[in-house]
Amino acid sequence: MDKEEKKVQVVAPEKLTGIKLTQPTTYAAGITGVKVAMDHAIKEMGAVRAFQTLMKMNQKNGFDCPGCAWPDPDDKRSVLGEYCENGAKALAEEATLKKVGIDFFAQHSIQEISTWSDYEIGKSGRLTHPMILKEGKNHYEKIEWQDAFELIGKELNKLDSPNEAIFYTSGRSSNEAAFLYALFIRAFGTNNMPDCSNMCHESSGVALSQTLGIGKGSVTLDDLHKADVVMVIGQNPGTNHPRMLSALQNCKNNGGKIITINPLAEAGLKKFKNPQKVVDYFTGGTTLTDVFLQVKINQDVALLKSIMMKLNQMDESDGDIWDHDFIKNKTANYQELIQDLKSHDLQELIRQSGVDENEINDAVNILAPAKKIIICWAMGLTQHKNGVENIKECVNLLLLKGSVGIDGGGTCPVRGHSNVQGDRTVGIVHHPNKESSKNIERVFGFKPAMENGLDTVGSIQAMYEGKAKIFVALGGNFVPAASDTYYTAQALQNCDLTVSISTKLNRTHLIRGKVSLILPTLGRSEKDHFEGKERFVTVENSMGKVHASQGKLKPASKHLMSEPDIVANIAEATLGKKHVVPWMAMAKDYGLIREKIGEIISGFKGYNKNAKDGFYLPNNAREGDFSKLPGGKAQFTVCKLPNHQLKENEFILMTIRSHDQFNTTIYGLHDRYRGIQNERRVIFMNPKDMDKLSLKKLDLVDLISEYDGIERKANKFHIIPYEIPEGNLASYFPETNVLVPINHFADGSRTPISKSVVVRVAGH
Ligand SMILES: Nc1nc2c(c(=O)[nH]1)N[C@H]1C(S)=C(S)[C@@H](COP(=O)(O)OP(=O)(O)OC[C@H]3O[C@@H](n4cnc5c(=O)[nH]c(N)nc54)[C@H](O)[C@@H]3O)O[C@H]1N2
Ligand SMILES: Nc1nc2c(c(=O)[nH]1)N[C@H]1C(S)=C(S)[C@@H](COP(=O)(O)OP(=O)(O)OC[C@H]3O[C@@H](n4cnc5c(=O)[nH]c(N)nc54)[C@H](O)[C@@H]3O)O[C@H]1N2
Ligand code: SF4
Ligand SMILES: [Mo]
């Protein structure tokens, strides 16, 4: 092979696919949603298999949807199916009949595959065999499982320090797999456990732990139905948590109100036609949002401050707006917060937020008499430099109203991956928890690593600088998901060994260390047999409920191993057969893993007995118990306003999801609700900004970001005139990740600034 051929494309080709524009829709779901869901499922899975499997998804005794982390109802499940359009797409993607086997890799070099789009790579199908990419080779070849494990063990043991290894986790792994993985990593001697959460809800975890004493949300699904007001901030549930719309509809039917804060008028937040309610087809569905505040990107703090100032003025004149008993008994720093509010100029805050004052007044009038308030949020708040403070400002409002720890009120960070929350609970954290460390020592008789490990950004930097040499990923697609794609790719290419435990082929598999391994694993929807016995796993949803998930489909290949089996084998190959932890026995019997989780992590007593019915984990904020916080009180925080010094012709770009993707997995090329067909290389821009730059609809442009003197470029995007605030842009992730600088992230959580990247727009 010549030198040219050896280059792998680390980013997807900047190739256009033939855009068509339609009108953005005004409602989500409805009959089109059902049709699209079935089209995807039938195309990938075959009709009979698709229908049968979908009926088992999110049912008791069935399997948990591999899509997002939205909870299922506690009791009654719908006989029509408990899933949404994007849940069906997630299943179709996993349960596809297409295969990526030994022949596939013999036929296609990594260089060739890298010239395909991420959509094409994903559509190749399911991985079927363990594969190795040897040093200097361009094709993956088959390797026996045992040889792969021995190679990993040998390489890990060769390192000068365990801290030269990085162990990534994406949030789809079960509690059992994640617990075993974390246990192994800490027995090996490091806490280098970067996790997809670091790029996602880390800001929520940090803000909530510091203010309310628990890094998770406080509400249940039932609370959403009972709330007086639900605020949906920085979240697009119609696409990313579609069944949340049923909960919002329920809330509305019970007399609740919804306030939406978003730079985009997302379809699902306007109107929802419930696919399970025949009446919705005739009545046009439910209008969900009562007040829409079209905030400028990253001006939520300004907006929330202006809302709180107005409410505070009402409280000072009439009283009874804030919950003064709650504030007095349960909170700290109230005076500081009020003083700070008063130090701002209201009109200046309103101007900065970009929202019309009359609309702010509408929101204020809804909030004033309300007590049961829930704030839901996702990436629109977390992925900014002030991501942690964005969330603390939401907590401030809830605490002022006494809305935390009551029925129908509280915090609702809406989680991404279907078990990202569970993975963290059972031990995937780079800052080791003292209590569970002590318990590990008591239960297993070894001292787990105690030094703080590296998070996602820290791991990438360490690999880039040659300080870490082995990268192991339990799921995920690290290179396109992380920021600064070229930098991240170089970091992996500097490694001696890269290992991916995956269900499907993705770009990270092509970005090799000296040697690379792909270890194919079972998906959620598949039967997990061991010596003739069927096993089940457990997961935790966005609201802290743990429950069982049991796959129903025949596995994509008989050569797949379950995630716990793979982890246990790696552990044994690394630590030896005589290690104090019975790795293989635990992998064989997940009940034993659950028993140990019960002994080590609080809240899991009776785990095996309760797994099938499901159980809620303890949640101090839900109970209104803040005793573990300073002074035993929930904490108000004085939050600063974000400071963006934009130069002439600079914009703030948010990198968001289309309706047809799950993170880096591209289901299709449409973004139906936003009126985009057959193209992902688009930038949404305000028509006034287009005029300023003399741009016309569909013109082609490049994006340039410049941080610390380094220019980063993403080329060839169609300009789409869109109802987005002036000075703001939106485009899809992961195409725009090349623009996100590695060393710019949220203060306190180190979450990359994926929703506020400063860019210039240039003609292509
Ligand atoms: N179908 C599908 N489901 C998914 C995923 C998927 O890719 N596809 N991903 C999963 C994962 S891992 C996650 S974390 C979640 C992500 O769920 P979301 O957070 O809903 O995903 P994003 O597309 O990143 O959308 C961010 C929303 O925030 C808004 N926004 C951006 N910046 C700001 C801001 O400064 N202020 C405010 N108020 N709003 C802002 C955007 O307009 C957009 O509506 O979804 C999960 N579910
Ligand atoms: N610019 C920008 N970047 C972002 C974001 C953004 O909004 N903007 N969002 C961030 C967020 S919120 C997140 S969570 C991360 C996501 O980062 P990741 O979690 O790393 O990425 P995914 O695309 O979800 O990973 C998909 C891959 O997971 C594997 N997989 C799927 N199911 C399973 C399974 O059951 N087991 C195993 N072992 N593997 C499986 C498949 O091989 C698939 O290719 O991206 C982040 N990156
Ligand atoms: S809302 Fe999320 S978990 Fe529920 S079916 Fe849809 S994608 Fe799956
Ligand atoms: Mo996420």
For residue 482, the domain's CATH number is 3.40.50.740
CB 390 less than 6 A from any atom of ligand 1: no
CB of 416 sitting under 6 A from ligand 3 = no
Task: Give the pLDDT score at 743.
Answer: 97
In this structure, the answer to whether residues 182 and 225 fall within a common structural domain is: no
**Ligand 3: does its nearest atom lie under 6 Å from the Cβ of 65?**
yes
Q: Last residue of some domain: 588, 614, 640? A: 614
Structure tokens at 708: 């610390």
Say which amino acid occupies 693.
L
Q: What residues does 757 pair with on adjacent strands?
A: 653
Q: Is the dihedral of CA 437, 438, 440, 446 positive or negative?
A: positive
CATH number of the domain enclosing 674: 2.40.40.20
Q: Are residues 138 and 212 in the same domain?
A: no
DSSP code, position 762: E
- Shared domain check, 747 and 690: yes
Is residue 249 a part of any domain in this protein? yes
pLDDT value at residue 4: 42
Cα(11)–Cα(489) distance, integer angstroms: 9
Q: Are residues 218 and 177 in the same domain?
A: no
Are 267 and 28 in contact, with CB atoms under 8 Å apart?
yes
Could you tell me if residue 750 is inside a domain?
Answer: yes
Half-sphere exposure of 223 (CA within 13 A, CB side): 24
Tell me, what's the pLDDT at 1?
40
pLDDT at 79: 67
* HSE-up of residue 168 (Cα within 13 Å, Cβ side): 30
Place of tokens 């600034």: 753
pLDDT confidence of residue 281: 65
Nearest to 718 by CA among 755, 759, 761, 749: 761
142 with 266, same domain?
A: no
The CA–CA distances, whole Å, from 585 to 183, 405, 497, 655 equal 14, 41, 28, 44
Q: Which domain holds residue 394?
A: 207-413
**Ranges in the chain, pLDDT < 50:** 1-5
For residue 417, how far is its CA from the centre of ligand 4 (angstroms)?
Answer: 6
233 in contact with ligand 1, CB cutoff 6 A: yes
Is residue 352 in a domain? yes
Asked whether residue 481 is domain-assigned, the answer is yes
Report how far ligand 4's centroid is from the alpha carbon of 588 (Å).
30
**Ligand closest to CA 755:** 1
Nearest CA to ligand 1 atom 3: 240
Torsion sign, CA atoms 19, 20, 21, 26: negative
Residues 633-678 pLDDT 10s: 999 999 999 989 899 999 999 999 999 999 999 999 999 999 999 9
Q: Is residue 88 part of a domain?
A: no
Q: Total domain count for the chain?
A: 3
CATH number of the domain residue 242 falls in: 3.40.228.10
Decide if 605 is inside a domain: yes
Q: Ligand 1: does its nearest atom lie under 6 Å from the Cβ of 392?
A: no
CA of 601 to the centre of ligand 3 (A): 27
Please say whether the beta carbons of 393 and 250 come within 8 A.
Answer: no
SS3 575: helix
